[in-house]
């Protein structure tokens, strides 16, 4: 009797699994309105307007006054980055910011590429659009949408853009020449923030798809990291016929059995074909995965629940904002950087570049608040829909590791990136 019951349940589960597995292959392309008030009946203005980053003397004066009023509290002895940003090192960063950093020069750098804004679903969406300066005759560039995440901005792509749009000048093959479009996520940088609750990665995916169609691109490539990875994955799920290739430098996985296999232990991992490098990154599991997720994800919990409260402080203090964001640039570059007194920040970045990103958050008043509201809706975007892409991900045996996004994933996605 018991045996039959168990067999029936197992059979039931297997049937359910097969039936529910491929129910939905694409995300529905719906519609939305995120501007203030109710949606006007008139058709949205679809014009694309040139935009320039600007700064004023008052803005810089106000920033300097606030920086000068910074009240540091000393770190615990020998704490390095264990308790968050080391405030003694922060004083060094702040002194550079106050005395050497030249925001006007950085604004010029930001404006070296053409910026635009256009209204989509009630929001003014900002983007840069960079065309190749030269093309081998008879060739058209490949349109590529590049999407940033938190706490980043469109500025993340400034160093790679010339390699993509003008490879020859940079000593690369010009077999693939790209035309690059980097938008700001709504509520980030110069894109208007939603007035309504619920703007998630799926809605953002639709907005960016509309942006690409408005620019005249029927088929295009997409690249995303952090939230951009989720947004780009959602674009591929929503309008697969318009996406020629998806490239991610961070992989979100959900609801697949493989994501649980690390719990089964090292021996099982070996059986499943984990490499020595995988095992080294995963075990001891408690220390390398469980504690490090606990230790590093507090911010996400805050953002997903009460983003506006901490947002008040961050929107009011440039130094607080810098500490909050730069701590992520330290630990997310390398988790071991927690062990360094200066968080290793200047090992991979220049303070100038780091502060330019901070200034994009600071000068677009309030975006640190709106940018932090994004995770509120994360669950919906990751969990709700099953689709082909997910099955494909699970087959690739992708592991999500805190601070480390598996290299082989990048290699594999590159392999699938048909040009």
Site residues (vs ligand NAG, CB under 6 A): 75, 78-80, 86, 88-89, 341-342
In this complex, which beta carbon is closest to ligand NAG, that of residue 84 or of residue 167?
84
Closer Cβ to ligand NAG, 87 or 372, answer by number:
87
Strand pairing category for 243-248 and 220-224: parallel
* Cβ atoms of 246 and 231 closer than 8 Å: no
Other Cβ atoms less than 10 A from the Cβ of 138: the count is 5
* Sign of the CA dihedral running 81, 82, 86, 89: negative
d(CA 418, CA 229): 18
CB of 355 to ligand NAG, least distance (A): 17
Answer for the pair 331, 81: CB distance below 8 angstroms, yes or no. Answer: yes
Work out the number of other CB atoms within 10 angstroms of the CB of residue 267: 9
| CB of 83 closer than 8 Å to CB of 74 | no
Task: Tell me how far apart the alpha carbons of residues 128 and 138 are, in angstroms, rounded to a whole number.
Answer: 25
β-pair partners for 124: 119
In the complex, minimum distance from the CB of residue 333 to ligand NAG, in angstroms, rounded to a whole number: 17
Give the nearest distance from C-beta 245 to ligand NAG in angstroms. 43
In the block, residue with structure tokens 């256009």: 118
Neighbouring CB atoms inside 10 A of 307's CB total: 20
Output the smallest distance, CB 357 to ligand NAG, in A.
21
Q: Which lies closer to ligand NAG via its Cβ, residue 86 or residue 356?
A: 86
Nearer to ligand NAG, 70 or 400 (CB): 70
Residues 143, 151 contacting (CB under 8 angstroms): no
DSSP output for 110-125: HTTS-EEEEEETTEEE
Pairing of strands 123-130, 115-120: antiparallel
Q: How far is the CB of 69 from ligand NAG (least distance, A)?
A: 21
Q: How far is the CB of 343 from ligand NAG (least distance, A)?
A: 9
If the CB atoms of residues 90 and 181 are measured against ligand NAG, the closer one turns out to be 90
Nearer to ligand NAG by Cβ, of 37 and 74: the residue is 74
Q: Which one, 80 or 210, has the nearer CB to ligand NAG?
A: 80
């Amino acid at each position: 009797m018991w045996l039959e019951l168990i067999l029936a349940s197992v059979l039931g589960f297997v049937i359910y699994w097969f039936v529910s597995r491929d129910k939905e292959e694409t995300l529905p392309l719906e519609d939305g309105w995120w501007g203030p008030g109710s949606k006007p009946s008139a058709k949205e203005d679809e014009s694309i307007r040139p935009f320039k980053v600007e700064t004023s003397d008052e803005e810089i004066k106000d920033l300097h006054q606030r920086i000068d009023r910074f009240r540091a509290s000393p770190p615990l002895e020998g704490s390095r980055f264990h308790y968050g940003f080391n405030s003694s090192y922060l004083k060094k960063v702040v002194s550079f910011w106050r005395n050497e950093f030249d925001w006007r020069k950085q604004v010029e750098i930001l404006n070296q590429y053409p910026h635009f804004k256009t209204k989509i679903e009630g929001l003014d969406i900002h983007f840069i659009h960079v065309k190749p300066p030269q093309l081998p005759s008879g060739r058209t560039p490949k349109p590529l949408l590049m999407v940033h995440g938190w706490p980043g901005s469109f500025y993340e792509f400034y160093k790679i853009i010339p390699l993509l749009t003008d490879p020859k000048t940079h000593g690369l093959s010009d077999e693939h020449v790209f035309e690059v479009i980097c938008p700001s996520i709504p509520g980030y940088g110069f894109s208007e923030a939603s007035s309504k609750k619920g703007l998630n990665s799926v809605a953002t995916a639709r907005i960016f798809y509309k942006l690409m169609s408005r620019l005249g691109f029927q088929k295009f490539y997409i690249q995303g990291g952090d939230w951009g990875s989720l947004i780009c994955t959602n674009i591929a799920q929503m309008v697969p016929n318009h996406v020629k290739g998806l490239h991610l430098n961070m992989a979100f996985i959900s609801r697949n059995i493989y994501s649980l296999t690390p719990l089964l232990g090292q021996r099982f991992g070996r059986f499943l074909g984990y490499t020595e490098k995988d095992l080294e990154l995963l075990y001891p599991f408690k220390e390398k995965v469980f504690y490090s997720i606990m230790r590093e994800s507090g911010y996400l919990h805050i953002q997903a629940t009460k983003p506006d409260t901490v947002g008040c402080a961050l929107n009011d203090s440039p130094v607080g904002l810098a500490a909050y964001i730069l701590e992520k640039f330290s630990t997310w570059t390398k988790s071991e950087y927690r062990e360094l007194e200066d968080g290793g920040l200047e090992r991979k970045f220049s303070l100038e570049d780091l502060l330019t990103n901070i200034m994009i958050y600071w000068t677009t008043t309030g975006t640190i608040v709106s940018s932090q509201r994004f995770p509120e809706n994360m669950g919906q975007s990751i969990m709700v829909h099953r689709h082909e892409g997910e099955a494909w991900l699970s087959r690739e045996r992708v592991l999500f590791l805190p601070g480390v996004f598996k290299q082989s994933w990048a290699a594999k996605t590159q392999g699938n990136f048909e040009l």
